[in-house]
Amino acid sequence: MATAQSSFIIKRLDGFGGPYVDSQYLGNAYETGKPHMLENTLTKIFSSESRFLTGGKNLLGMTGAKSYGTMEIDTEVYRWRLQGAEEKSMRSLENLEAGNTTPGINGSLIRLKGDLDFYTHPEVLLPEDNAYPMQIVDGPIPDGTGFIYTLKLQGDNPSLYLPPSLLDAGREFSKGWTSTPSEANRFFGNQQYPNSFLLESQVSAFAQSIQITDKAWRDSGRLNVEFMYTDANGKTRKVDRFLPMAEAKMWDELYMSMEAQMVYGVKQTQPGKDKYWIKTGPGLRQQLKDSWIQYYNGALTVSMLKDYLMDIFFARADERDRKVVAMTGTQGSLMFHDALSAIANGFLTIDTHFIERTQGIAGIETPHLAYGAQFTRYRGPQGVVVDLIQNPMYDNRKYCKQMHPQYPDRPIDSARMTFLDFGTTGGDNNMQMLKVKDTFRWGYVAGTHTPTGPVKGGQAGSKIAGYDLFTEGTAGLLIRDVTRAGELIFDSTY
């Protein structure tokens, strides 16, 4: 008879039976619901490209509102790969030449214990002072937690020796080049290959609803009041019935929930009230904790801004690809303007921007003048360009109740500056809004009433006199490489 077990089986998935099927049954039996793998990408850390988005006033506008800014995925959990630096430096684990005040003099050999075995003869190592190249003579030889190399200083000066401190524990060494015979060579150097990382995150689910009774439906058109609301395109609309405004408010609340969660949310997976998992994705703040964070408590200056941005971009991206967006509140916008105004005062300019003649009715010139303008772009050295965008959420006391110590009527987040790189890497946007396929749903559940009126002879959903409107969907924020972003955070205690 056939055996119940086979040596070729590496995983067993149990079937199920019964009248009810949900995602947990399918996942246990057929491994559905696997994390979505973002394709096309071993994204190299900090491979910035020049395209970026500046069209929106908030995070949804800067990501999801763009045709290439939203991606549909198959399940709530997703993964992507990130590539590390091309090369890794070796660190000294201990100074094997301790007590030797002139290591390498007269061509003497130097012993080095490092944490990597990546190098070999005929490679040349460079210490932290690159004036002392050292040829590998022997090694690496395993020794406990590290590897021992035998080195010899390059150069024709016999009195040259390596400063002993360059061999101390923690000092770095990297490959410079290979030195081989010019004839009948049989020695070749090695090369390094970068680390890669598999990262995982998830999106969140959101839902809103309204329950309307039959009498509320009848009375909504008898209020003799006009209602103002903002539609999905950000335009102000006017209606004379309550229910269209209420439905628009429901939609607005859904998207504001997404917006708030994608800024302030934290990643968690917890069981819900009815056994199903509630997944929430990490927001912008949580993801940027691994980025370039700097605190300040005084006035913003161009020097501070320049130094901060150069820390991000130094030796990391081509000068043509150093464009970022600074998202901030009103106070941050004013500080940005004041900083650039202060530095601009030192230049002699012919002013055609701050002072201009005003136009009268029908374009007729008048003797009146207007003064004023605001800086919203900074062009720094080495190709750095910053475009300022004001996000109303940073000024909203609903989301930030901690007030600025110098401006007690303004939230402290109003002075916060979030620097985002919307560039692309290999055709993939560094920042995107994600949503799960087929999770956006909206409609109504009828009782003995529907949005168009009472049920008269047709099928009712229930014997409740009224109906429900609902909408739900999923959303999450993907930042492939957070090392291309960061924040300047105002902190009065810093």
Distance CA 220, CA 247 (A): 13
Higher pLDDT, 133 or 235: 133
Q: pTM value? A: 0.74
Could you read off the pLDDT of 328-379 as tens digits, one per residue? 999 999 999 988 888 877 665 555 666 666 666 666 666 776 767 788 888 8
* CA nearest neighbour of 267 among 481, 478, 22, 44: 478
Distance CA 481, CA 466 (A): 49
Q: What is the pLDDT of residue 146?
A: 92
Q: What is the pLDDT of residue 234?
A: 61
Q: What is the pLDDT of residue 328?
A: 92
Q: What is the pLDDT of residue 24?
A: 59
Residue 464: which residues within 8 A CB-CB, separation 6 or more? 447, 448
Mean pLDDT throughout 9-36? 54
Tally of residues, the chain:
494
Per-residue CA distances from 417 to 137, 379, 381 (Å): 52, 17, 20
Distance CA 304, CA 113 (A): 40
Distance CA 129, CA 168 (A): 13
Give domain limits for the chain: 18-85+194-343+369-494, 90-178
Distance CA 242, CA 244 (A): 6
* pLDDT at residue 259 greater than cutoff 80: yes
Q: What is the pLDDT of residue 111?
A: 94
Phi, psi of 385 (to 5 degrees): -135, 130
* pLDDT at residue 298 greater than cutoff 80: yes
Phi, psi of 349 (to 5 degrees): -130, 155
Q: What is the pLDDT of residue 236?
A: 73
- CB-based contact 52:325 (threshold 8 Å): yes
Q: What is the pLDDT of residue 42?
A: 44
Owner of token pair 């002013």: 351
* CA nearest neighbour of 82 among 426, 312, 418: 426
Structure tokens at 218: 């009848």
Q: What is the pLDDT of residue 75?
A: 84
Distance CA 113, CA 145 (A): 9
Q: How confident is the model at residue 141 (pLDDT cuts 50, 70, 90)?
A: very high
Mean pLDDT throughout 3-14? 46
Q: What is the pLDDT of residue 3?
A: 44
Q: What is the average pLDDT score of the chain?
A: 79
3-state DSSP assignment of residue 286: helix
3-state DSSP assignment of residue 415: helix
Q: Which of 96-105, 238-247, 326-335 has the lowest mean pLDDT?
A: 238-247
Q: How confident is the model at residue 4 (pLDDT cuts 50, 70, 90)?
A: very low
Phi, psi of 24 (to 5 degrees): -70, -40
Q: What is the pLDDT of residue 116?
A: 87
Structure tokens at 136: 């590998």
Q: What is the pLDDT of residue 216?
A: 86
* pLDDT at residue 248 greater than cutoff 90: no
Could you read off the pLDDT of 370-428 as tens digits, one per residue? 767 788 888 888 878 889 998 888 998 888 888 888 888 899 999 999 998 887 665 67
Q: What angle do CA 411, 417, 419 make, to 5 degrees?
A: 150
